[in-house]
Amino acid sequence: MRCKLCQEDKILCQSHIVPESAYGPIYDGQHRFFEVTNMKEYLRPLQKGLRESLLCGDCEQHLNKYESYFANTWFQNSLIPTHASNEITTIEGLDYHLFKLFHMSILWRAGIASREEFANVNLGQHEEDLRKLILYDKPGNPNQYGIFGYILVFPGNYQVCHSLLIQPVEVDFYHVTGFHIIFGGCVWHYFLANDIDLNQFPFVLKEDGILHMLRIEVDQYDPVMDLMKERHNRGWKRKG
Ligand SMILES: [Zn+2]
């Protein structure tokens, strides 16, 4: 079997697409989810722990560096607050290299996964670019596959929401294609482009390791609303 990252013929592991650790230790089941609205009726929940034969042991180890960095800083160092009382939360001290590559690896894995839960993540020509950057441990410039995030909160009390698990959503943001993937109390926005204008998107993570994150209430989150309508009308797009 050929490893999707190094492309060598090796024995493959059952690799996580979004690692368990990305959801954090404080994931508390689904009960809070139901307080929001009855949106679950149309949304397909994303299960934690989805796996596929993707990577060899060496490549698993390679990605594990990024995963442990994220889990350790985001949750153990409590970078993600329990409440987002301000409209913008500034998070400082991130390691650009590790943090960016972690998110790039999530996007890339979602793109290569063949499970139907990730069917709408098509990376096209960028799949190969992302593979090489990840394989050679290169985070790229901030304007290449740039990332930023929103802190997802419950309406009213602004408590950070860790329990909305939905499939990745394709998002056109100011005419640049990207994807939203939700975990760690945030909606992560991944630009599928290697030349975005950083003046136009000032919240994108840069080498200074500072993230400015807008707060978004779960019942105001457009993709959730759009998704509900879309699901209702015609179901999911398929890959290929
Ligand atoms: Zn490999």
In the chain, what are the domain boundaries? 12-234
Q: Which of 87-96, 124-133, 214-223 has the lowest mean pLDDT?
A: 214-223
Q: pLDDT band for position 218 (50/70/90)?
A: confident
Q: 70-84, 89-103, 128-142, 194-208: which range is least confident on average?
A: 70-84
**For residue 19, pLDDT beyond 50:** yes
Structure-model confidence comparison of residues 70 and 225, the more confident one: 70
Task: Measure 105 CA to ligand 1 centroid, in angstroms.
Answer: 13
Residue 57 has pLDDT above 80, yes or no: yes
* CA 57 to ligand 1 centroid distance, Å: 7
At which residue do the structure tokens 């490549």 appear? 59
Cα(2) to ligand 1 centroid in Å equals: 8
Instruction: Say how many Å lie between the CA of residue 11 and the centre of ligand 1.
Output: 9
Average pLDDT over residues 195-213: 95
* Ligand 1 center to 148 CA (angstroms): 28
Average pLDDT over every residue of 22-38 = 52
10 CA → ligand 1 middle, Å:
7
Window from 153-157, 195-199, 200-204 with minimum mean pLDDT: 153-157
8 A C-beta contact, residue 93 and residue 209: yes
Residue 198, pLDDT > 60, answer yes
Q: How far is the CA of 59 from the centre of ligand 1 (A)?
A: 4
Is the confidence at residue 23, as pLDDT, over 70? Answer: yes
* Residue-level pLDDT at 45: 58
**Per-residue pLDDT at 231:** 52
Q: If you measure from the C-alpha of residue 56 to the centroid of ligand 1, how many angstroms do you get, rounded to a whole number?
A: 4
| Whole-angstrom distance, CA of residue 80 vs CA of residue 192 | 25
C-alpha 78 to ligand 1 mean position (Å): 32
**What pLDDT shows up at residue 40?**
46
Split at pLDDT 50, 70, 90, the class of 34 is very low
Mean per-residue pLDDT, 19-31: 66
For tokens 């860790």, the residue is 162
Q: Report CA Rg, the chain.
A: 17
* 85 C-beta neighbours (distance < 10 Å), count: 10
Gap from CA of 107 to ligand 1 centroid (Å): 17
Residue 68, both tokens: 């442990």
pLDDT above 90 for 33: no
Q: Please give the Cα distance from 40 to 34 (Å, whole number).
A: 8
From the list 159, 141, 142, the residue with the least C-alpha distance to 151 is 159
| pLDDT confidence tier of residue 226, bands split at 50, 70 and 90 | low
Distance from the alpha carbon of residue 6 to the mean position of ligand 1, in angstroms: 4
18 CA distance to ligand 1 centroid (A)? 17
Which residues have C-beta under 5 Å from ligand 1, the single-atom ion? 3, 5-6, 56, 59
